[in-house]
A = this chain, B = another copy of it.
Amino acid sequence: METRIERLCVERGLKMTGQRRVVARVLSDAGDHPDVEELYRRASALDQHISIATVYRTVRLFEEQGILERRDFGGGRARYEPTEDGPHYHLIDVETGKVIEFQDPEHERLMHAIAGRLGFDVVSLRLELFGRRQGTAGKPRSRAASRPGEPDDDAPMAPAGEATKGARR
């Protein structure tokens, strides 16, 4: 059966190749915010004939078509999520890397007010909370840098909302 994203592609007149269909499917199934490598991993499981370059190209195309949204949660890799619901923000669990979405109209109003006070119109904004589940007091949880893609799981990341680029072994 045809996924929602596949339908969008057709509507926009995109040539539907096998690999685009696979990426579209993977994205439709994703409930999380995968990065390109993860998408590539999931796509490969459905079709060996796909290269990571194609995933990059497809993801970029989809973004240009407004089908996908690119997120940058720090950590150096772009994460993607299908454009769907209205504006929402993300709370990243610093222990598990899981991402929780939330919205908040009041916050939005506040931001517009602040910008207005400075003489600006808000074009877009970025808001991310990094938090720890209550009760999980700073316990030195095994900092398992579990790289291997746990399907369904957003990757762990450092707090501070900073880049942490490069392999700091």
Which A residues, 101 to 119, have Cβ-Cβ distances below 8 Å to chain B? 102, 104, 106-107, 110-111, 114-116, 118-119
In the bound complex, residues from chain B placing their C-beta under 8 Å from that of A121 are 131-134
Q: How far is the CB of A134 from chain B (nearest CB, A)?
A: 5
A100 within 8 A of B: yes
In the bound complex, residues from chain B placing their C-beta under 8 Å from that of A147 are 70, 124
Which A residues, 143 to 169, have Cβ-Cβ distances below 8 Å to chain B? 145, 147-149, 159-163, 165
For the complex formed by this chain, how many copies does it contain in all?
Answer: 2
Q: How far is the CB of A78 from chain B (nearest CB, A)?
A: 5
Which A residues, 121 to 144, have Cβ-Cβ distances below 8 Å to chain B? 121-134
Whether the Cβ atoms of B114 and A102 lie closer than 8 Å is yes
Q: How far is the CB of A156 from chain B (nearest CB, A)?
A: 13
> Which A residues lie at the B interface, using CB under 8 A?
64, 70-72, 74, 78, 91, 93-94, 100, 102, 104, 106-107, 110-111, 114-116, 118-134, 145, 147-149, 159-163, 165
Listed A/B pairs (24) with beta-carbon separation below 8 Å: A70-B147, A74-B126, A78-B162, A91-B114, A91-B118, A91-B120, A102-B114, A102-B118, A107-B110, A107-B114, A111-B129, A118-B131, A120-B131, A120-B134, A121-B132, A122-B130, A122-B131, A123-B159, A124-B130, A124-B159, A124-B161, A125-B130, A126-B149, A127-B127
